[in-house]
Amino acid sequence: MLSEFDLIKHYFRRNRPGKAVLGIGDDCALLAPTPGMQMAISSDMLVEGRHFFPGADPRMLGHKCLAVNLSDLAAMGARPLGFTLALALPEANPDWLAGFSAGLFALADAHDCELIGGDTTRGPLNICITVFGEVEPGQALRRDAARAGDDIWISGTLGDARLALAGYWKEYALGEDEHLLAAARMHMPTPRVGLGRALAALAQPPAALDISDGLVGDLGHILAASSVGATLEVDALPAGPVLSRQPLEWRRRFTVAGGDDYELCFAARREDREAVIAAGVASGTPVTRVGTIDAEAGLRFVDGSGAPVSMQVSGWDHFSGG
Amino acid sequence: MLSEFDLIKHYFRRNRPGKAVLGIGDDCALLAPTPGMQMAISSDMLVEGRHFFPGADPRMLGHKCLAVNLSDLAAMGARPLGFTLALALPEANPDWLAGFSAGLFALADAHDCELIGGDTTRGPLNICITVFGEVEPGQALRRDAARAGDDIWISGTLGDARLALAGYWKEYALGEDEHLLAAARMHMPTPRVGLGRALAALAQPPAALDISDGLVGDLGHILAASSVGATLEVDALPAGPVLSRQPLEWRRRFTVAGGDDYELCFAARREDREAVIAAGVASGTPVTRVGTIDAEAGLRFVDGSGAPVSMQVSGWDHFSGG
C-alpha cells in the first residue's frame, strides 16, 4: 500500500520550476502576487455519483475537475496562477492515480497553472480544487455589470454535454458515434480562459459567468445581480455539433437548459460588438450573439421572427434538484 | 427541502463589510493582496469517520475544520485573510447547518478571517477548507530553516487530544470529567496564529510546523527538510492538564506521538531564547524548550539526566496508517 507521502511524491510533486515561491511540502504554499493585481479565487467540489459516474475514466476526471475551476477564472477574466487539490480516495490505486494526475497536469500545463499544495486522505471519492488567478483591478467580469441594451453572447456551443447525459439515461436514442462525440463534451469541457482574458481587456468589461447548470438558470444570476431582464432568441443559441442534428424540440431544450457546458455567457455593450468578435478571434473561441438585456425584469424567449416562444425550464440545484 | 442557494444565503452569507473586494456570489471571489506581501495558502479536507466521528457535534466540527487550516497559517507565520468552504452534505439539515456555521464563524471572527466563497453539494459528509493569509517576504516559518544548535520549542501542551481518543477507543479508562476535558482539546484545537505572527517577526524566523500527526512524525519533516537531526528531552515535553496526571509511560507515549495537537513545534536560534519567550508572552501562548537540533541525522530521546530513552513511535499516515 502506498503511503500518503509516497502518493503525493509519485503522482503530484513535480521537479520543475514554478511560479510559487514555495510549493508542495510545507504547511502552506507561498505565492508572490503581481503588485497591483487582484486575486481571483474559486473552489469546486466534485463527488462520485453526483458530478461523475462511479468508475469514471480517471484521466478525463483529472481534466474535468480542473477544467470546471479554470472555467470560473475564465468567467472572471482572470489569468490562472495555481491551484490546490484535496483528494479523498477509497484506496490508493496506482493506475487510477497515474491516469488522474496525467489528465490533471495536461490541462494545468496548457494554462500554466501550477499545483501548489493540497491534502490527501482516505474516504468516499471526493475531489476539491481551489484555483487562484489574477486580474487587473476594475477589469473583472462581474455578474452585476449588465445594463439594458447590452448584447448577450455565448462562447462555443451548448447542449452536447446534456445530450450525452440523455443518452446515458436512455432518455434519448443516439448512435454510438454521436454519443461518443457528445460525451467528450461532457467529460472534457474546455475552459474559455483566453476569451475571458480578452474580454477583461475591454474598456467596459462585460458581465459574465460560466454556464454549468444550464443557460437559463445561470443567466438568471446575471439578471438578478444586475437588476435587469433579458430576451433570448431561442433558435440563435449555438447548439453543439451533435445536438444540432437533432429535432428542434431537443435543440431548444438542451441549449436553453442543458448543464455541464462550461461556456461563457456574457453581456457586452452594443458598441463593443466588433471588439467582442475580435476577442473571440484572438482567443480562437467562437462567439454568438443570442439576445439582449432589457430594463424590464424577467426572461423572454422569441423565435427568429421575434414571436414569443413558451419554454418551461429551470436551473440545476444540488439539494432540491434531481 | 432547502435549495443550494437558500442554504448558502441562510447559513453562510453575511451582511457585514469584509476585506474581500468581492465575496460570495460571483464565479470567483476577489482579494486585493497587501502590496509587497506574500500569500500563504493551505487546504485541508475532513472526512466523516476518519477525521471526526459520525454524528459529531456540528458546532465543534465547524470550529475544528477551520482551526486546522488556521493552524497551517500559524505554522507559516501568516496573518489570516480569508477562506473558501466546500461542503458535501448527505442532506441539508437546518439544525446541523446552524450549529456548524456558528462554530465556524465564531473562530473565523476571532481571527478576522472572512468566508469569501466555496461550493455546496450533496454527498458523503466532507468538509474542504482552503485558507489564505499573508506574510512578509523572507519571514515565513519554513520547514527547511533549522540549523544545528537551534533550540526546539513546543507551544501549549501535547497529548490530551490523543488521550481523549484512547478514552473513546477504551484503550484507557478515564474519569468522566477527565475525558470531557481531554475531548475538548481534541474537538476544539487552538490555532496558534498570534505566536506564529510573533515568531515571523524575528530577524531569523524559526523553522516551524504544526503538530497534527504526532510530534515525532511531524518534527521528522523539519529534520528532513533542513538535513539535520535532533535530541528531544522526553520528560520536558509539556503534557496537557489531563495527561500530566497519568502514569509516566502514557505521558511519554502521547506527548511524543499523539496526534490532533495543533501546537507549533519550532526550531529557533539559541541567541533568540529571550525573544521566543517574549513572543510567547506577547501572544499569550505558553512555550516550552524541549530539545536541540543536531548536525547528526536521526532523532534521539534523553531523560532529564541526559541518559538515552528508547521510544518506538511513528507518525500517522492516512493511507498506510490505522
Residue range A300-310, pLDDT digits in tens: 999 989 999 88
Contact status, residue B199 vs residue B191, Cβ threshold 8 Å: no
Nine-digit cell at B40? 500563504
Provide the pLDDT for residue B17: 67
* Inter-axis angle of helices B94-110 and B4-11, nearest 10: 40
> In which element (H, E) is residue A189 found?
none
Contact of B69 with chain A, judged by CB distance below 8 Å, is answered with no
Per DSSP, the three-state class of A252 is helix
Cα–Cα distance for residue pair A248/A238, rounded to 1 Å? 13
Model confidence over A144-194: pLDDT tens digits?
Answer: 999 999 999 999 999 999 999 998 888 888 899 999 999 999 999 999 999
Nine-digit cell at A166? 440523455
- Residue closest to B199 by CA, chosen among B275, B92, B86, B111: B275
Residues of A in contact with B7 (CB under 8 A): 319
Q: Considering only residues 15 to 34 of chain A, which have any Cβ-Cβ distance to chain B shorter than 8 Å?
A: 21-22, 25-33
Distance (Å) from the C-alpha of residue B230 to the closest C-alpha of chain A?
Answer: 19
CB contact under 8 A, B135 and A30: yes
Per CATH, the architecture of B143-302 is what?
A: Alpha-Beta Complex (3.90)
- Residue closest to A283 by CA, chosen among A185, A190, A182, A183: A190
Cα–Cα distance for residue pair B222/A29, rounded to 1 Å? 16
Q: Which amino acid is at A192?
A: R
Provide the pLDDT for residue A8: 75
Provide the pLDDT for residue A2: 64
Contact of A4 with chain B, judged by CB distance below 8 Å, is answered with yes
- Residue closest to B77 by CA, chosen among B273, B214, B264: B264
Number of H helices, E strands in chain B: 9, 11
Model confidence over B22-73: pLDDT tens digits?
Answer: 878 788 999 888 888 999 999 999 999 988 989 999 999 999 999 999 999 9
Residues of B in contact with A210 (CB under 8 A): 27
**Residue ranges covered by each domain of chain A:** 4-135, 143-302
Cα–Cα distance for residue pair A15/A5, rounded to 1 Å? 16
Provide the pLDDT for residue A171: 84
B322 band by pLDDT with thresholds 50, 70 and 90: very low
Search chain A and give the residue with CA nearest B137: A32
Residues of A in contact with B35 (CB under 8 A): 35-36
Task: Pick one of 3.30.1330.10, 3.30.1330.40, 3.40.50.1260, 2.60.40.1180 as the CATH number of B4-135.
Answer: 3.30.1330.10
Contact of B72 with chain A, judged by CB distance below 8 Å, is answered with yes
A200 band by pLDDT with thresholds 50, 70 and 90: very high
Answer with the residue of higher pLDDT: A320 or A143: A143
CB contact under 8 A, B123 and A49: yes
Whole-number CA gyration radius for chain A = 20
Contact of A226 with chain B, judged by CB distance below 8 Å, is answered with no
The reply to whether A143-302 shares the fold of A4-135 is: no
What count of other Cβ atoms lies within 10 Å of the Cβ of residue B309?
15
Contact status, residue A236 vs residue A304, Cβ threshold 8 Å: yes
Choose among B43, B48, B137: nearest Cβ to A119.
Answer: B43
Distance (Å) from the C-alpha of residue A155 to the closest C-alpha of chain B?
Answer: 16
What count of other Cβ atoms lies within 10 Å of the Cβ of residue A314?
13
B247 by Cβ neighbours in 10 Å (0-12 / 13-18 / 19+) ranks as exposed
Search chain B and give the residue with CA nearest A43: B118
B321 band by pLDDT with thresholds 50, 70 and 90: very low
> Sign of torsion, CA A245 A249 A250 A253?
positive
Contact of B113 with chain A, judged by CB distance below 8 Å, is answered with no
Residues of B in contact with A4 (CB under 8 A): 317-321
Contact of B124 with chain A, judged by CB distance below 8 Å, is answered with yes
- For residues B211-215, average pLDDT: 92
Choose among A4, A126, A209: nearest Cβ to B88.
Answer: A126
Residues making up chain A, counted from first to last: 322
Model confidence over B117-141: pLDDT tens digits?
Answer: 989 999 999 999 999 999 999 999 9
CA angle B278, B281, B286 (to 5 degrees): 110
What count of other Cβ atoms lies within 10 Å of the Cβ of residue A3?
15
- For residues A237-255, average pLDDT: 93
Contact of A120 with chain B, judged by CB distance below 8 Å, is answered with yes
What count of other Cβ atoms lies within 10 Å of the Cβ of residue A13?
13
Choose among A2, A40, A43: nearest Cβ to B130.
Answer: A43
Residues of A in contact with B3 (CB under 8 A): 317, 319-320
Which runs of consecutive H residues, i.e. helices, occur in A227-316?
248-256, 273-282
What count of other Cβ atoms lies within 10 Å of the Cβ of residue A288?
16
User: Which of B41, B46, B84, B97 would you mutate first to test chain A, the one with the most A CBs within 10 A?
Assistant: B41
A9 band by pLDDT with thresholds 50, 70 and 90: confident
Strands B207-211 and B263-268: antiparallel
Provide the pLDDT for residue A172: 82
Place of cell 477583461: A200
- Distance, C-alpha A235 to centroid of its chain: 23
Classify residue B81 by its DSSP letter. Answer: E
Provide the pLDDT for residue A5: 65
CB contact under 8 A, B40 and A29: yes
What integer best gives the mean pLDDT of chain A?
91
Torsion of CA A20, A22, A25, A29, to 10 degrees: -70
User: Which of A3, A8, A27 would you mutate first to test chain B, the one with the most B CBs within 10 A?
Assistant: A27
Classify residue A25 by its DSSP letter. Answer: T
Model confidence over B73-116: pLDDT tens digits?
Answer: 999 999 999 999 999 999 989 999 999 999 999 999 999 999 99
Cα–Cα distance for residue pair B161/B213, rounded to 1 Å? 11
Contact of A252 with chain B, judged by CB distance below 8 Å, is answered with no
Search chain B and give the residue with CA nearest A8: B319
User: Across-strand partners of B232?
Assistant: B291, B301
Q: Which amino acid is at B143?
A: R
Whole-number CA gyration radius for chain B = 20
Task: Output the CA–CA distances (angstroms, integers) from residue B283 to A290, B76, B159, B260, in the order listed.
Answer: 59, 16, 22, 21
Nine-digit cell at B102? 456558528
A313 by Cβ neighbours in 10 Å (0-12 / 13-18 / 19+) ranks as middle
Search chain A and give the residue with CA nearest B321: A3
CB contact under 8 A, A143 and B27: yes
